[in-house]
Amino acid sequence: MTDSWPSSDPGVLRLPSGRLVRGRGLRHPLPSGPVPTFGVYLLGRPPTEIPWQSRWVRWPDFWLPRDDADFRAALRQAWERSAEERVEFACGGGKGRTGTALACLAVLDGVPAEQAVAFVRQHYARGAVETPWQRRYVARFTPVPA
């Protein structure tokens, strides 16, 4: 990995493949240190202007992505880019939507779907993946081959 996150930075999740991705809440200040090269923003409305490459996934707070195909495409793009770049996922608080996306990314990276929520809670944030429907979404998530 040529331009990844420092593994000790807050919010950085190491996937089984060794890829590092960062999750964060947009209501909190941008962490010090390197900025993302690509971000996936999980929000009910478009994010404010972001100075790096990004993708918006329409995803209201406490719910699920409005367009499953768009979310899956964003997830695949982020996973591919995370091999060489600093990729982050973010929502308002950094727990529910971000945790759900990170858990789905973990499934894409090889974590069994029924273990992905526990994986993200252990390695990212205890309160990640907040609602029962978000947990069900992850448990039923199956990656689509590239």
Per-residue pLDDT of the chain (146 residues; tens, 9 = 90+): 457 898 889 999 999 999 999 999 999 999 988 999 999 999 999 998 899 999 999 999 999 999 999 999 999 999 999 999 999 999 999 999 999 999 999 999 999 999 999 999 999 999 999 999 999 999 999 987 66
| All residues at 6 or more sequence positions from 69 whose CB lies less than 8 Å from its CB, including other chains | none
Give domain status of residue 146, yes or no.
no
Give domain status of residue 2, yes or no.
no
Q: How many folded domains does the chain comprise?
A: 1
Give domain status of residue 98, yes or no.
yes
Give domain status of residue 6, yes or no.
no
Task: Quote the CA–CA distance of 74 and 125 in Å, as a whole number.
Answer: 22
- Read off the tokens for 144: 């689509």
What CATH number is associated with residue 64? 3.90.190.10
Give domain status of residue 119, yes or no.
yes
Task: Quote the CA–CA distance of 130 and 38 in Å, as a whole number.
Answer: 25
